[in-house]
Amino acid sequence: MATVTLDRILQSQGFGTRRYCGDLVEAGLVEVNGTLCEDPGARFEVDGLQLKVDGEEWLACTKAYLMLNKPTGYECSQRPRHHPSVYNLLPVPLRQREVQAVGRLDHDTTGLLLLTDDGQFIHAQTSPKKQVPKVYEVATFDPVTPEQVQALLAGVKLDDEPEAIAAHACEATGERSLRLSLLQGKYHQVKRMVAAAGNHVTTLHRSAIGGLQLDPALAPGEWRWLTAEDMVALKSPGG
């Protein structure tokens, strides 16, 4: 595998310009795999490199793939209008390398949000042709009836859609809760579908994408890198 100079690696990870990164190295502020390195031109393989930059632990990667447990009250936008940006929850280097949310969650929707700087990955996850199921845990205002579940499975008509839209899967999980799996990603889709079936969403939480479940160890607002196992799970049907 090709090697890259340390100053370029730090630049690629979002720590600043190449010159600034070189200055960090020469100032003795960078450790590589637990060893101090003061040569900006030292060469390493990028992926899996354990860095410590000015006291901050960092796992180097050519492309960033993250999961975030999105809390309520955040917008999935670089230019939010009414609420803080979800990108404020990420460390500066990730914001500098311009990771993007893979699809969006409404400001009052919580749960699994993927972020990356890999455009092909974003396309693969969001393209309607890929049929990646997203699973939502829904709390409702009124009790969930068997008729409502059947309506969601059979398809409901939304005002701006030419044809009825059906859930990929749907089941009641409590008196006022259900689990809904969708293959599309339309505007306010879960809320509108539940309303069309005769109920009202009070809280909404995305628990899975494909076969990838939200890590229960992540508190709201926390993130972690996706593992190789996570990437495999994303490609499984799940939902």
Task: Please identify every residue annotated as catalytic.
Answer: 106
Cα–Cα dist 194/78, whole Å: 29
**9 CB-near residues (< 8 Å, 6+ apart):** 44, 46, 49, 51, 60
Cα–Cα dist 51/160, whole Å: 50
Q: Residue 162's CB: how many other CB atoms inside 10 A?
A: 6
Task: Reduce the secondary structure of 52-105 to three states and give it as a string.
Answer: EECCEEEECCCCCEEEEEECCCCECCCCCCCCCEHHHHCCHHHHHCCCEECCCC
Dihedral over alpha carbons 129, 72, 141, 138 (to 10 degrees): 40
C-beta separation of 207 from 214 below 8 A: yes
Q: What is the 8-class DSSP label of residue 127? A: -
Maximum Cα–Cα distance across the chain: 68
C-beta separation of 5 from 41 below 8 A: yes
